[in-house]
Amino acid sequence: MRVIFLGPPGAGKGTQARRTAARWGVPQIATGDMLREAFAADTELGRRAKRFYDAGELVPDKVIIGLVGERLAQPDGRKGFVLDGFPRTVAQAEALDRLLDERGLALDRVVLFRIAEADLVARLTGRRVCRACGRTYHVTFSPPRQAERCDVCGGELYQRSDDEEATVRHRLRVYEENTRPLIGYYRRRDLVDEVQAVGTVGEVFEAVVGTVERGR
């Protein structure tokens, strides 16, 4: 099973990618995790990526694509994958196609997570993080027992700057601008399945699995 999950920040792609990857017995491959693994392994590409990362700059497409190629070449990546949040642009998608073609492989499906902007803003702006231990809460969906205090260590909870409403709305605009052409790219190949990313985690999971497995 070779599947891409696309969707805006806060749509729940990461949660669903972990669950579906476990069901299908394939790795979940997320850009952030991939970068951290490359840093830890101290590979040549990892060192190149870290120079950009440490400088606060975006890691160039060429380096990211090289890391994806390395990850897909690992034994567990040969039987399939769930790509979470990659590709982000048509150029990255074309590079991924070339990587797969070199291995005689092809994508099975692209799952597009749909959710209203108002719901996304509520999800993201409601997040709170413990300053001491990093545990995450949500003021509506998973509030702490005591307001503004972590259940685990008693640390102060705070709102990250990237969870403030103005920042969230900017992130969503950037996503729409970058991803709309990418969705069209995959639609032209009849690979896209849409899933409504609302409801419980279990309900969305069943929708994702049912949609992909029927479409294969």
DSSP letter string over 3-45?
Answer: EEEE--TTS-HHHHHHHHHHHHT--EEEHHHHHHHHHHHT-HH
Residue of 2, 109, 123, 127 with catalytic role:
127
Find all residues with CB under 8 Å of 75, minimum gap 6, and list them: none
206 Cβ contact list (under 8 Å, min separation 6): none
- Of 13, 19, 71, 123, the catalytic one is 13
13 is catalytic: yes
In the residue annotation, 88 being an active-site residue is answered as yes
Q: How far is CA 119 from CA 73, 140, 161, 169, in A?
A: 38, 12, 19, 12
* Active-site residue, 127 included: yes
**Active-site residue identified among 160, 180, 187, 189:** 160
Report which residue type is found at 194.
E
Question: Which of the following is catalytic: 18, 50, 169, 171?
Answer: 171
- Could you confirm whether 160 is annotated as catalytic? yes
**How many other CB atoms are there within 10 angstroms of residue 9's CB atom?**
16
Contact 35, 59 (CB under 8 A): yes
Does residue 18 carry a catalytic annotation? no
Q: Of 18, 48, 88, 169, which is the active-site residue?
A: 88
- Yes or no: say if 96 and 180 are a contact pair by the CB < 8 Å rule: no
Catalytic positions, written as ranges: 13, 88, 127, 160, 171
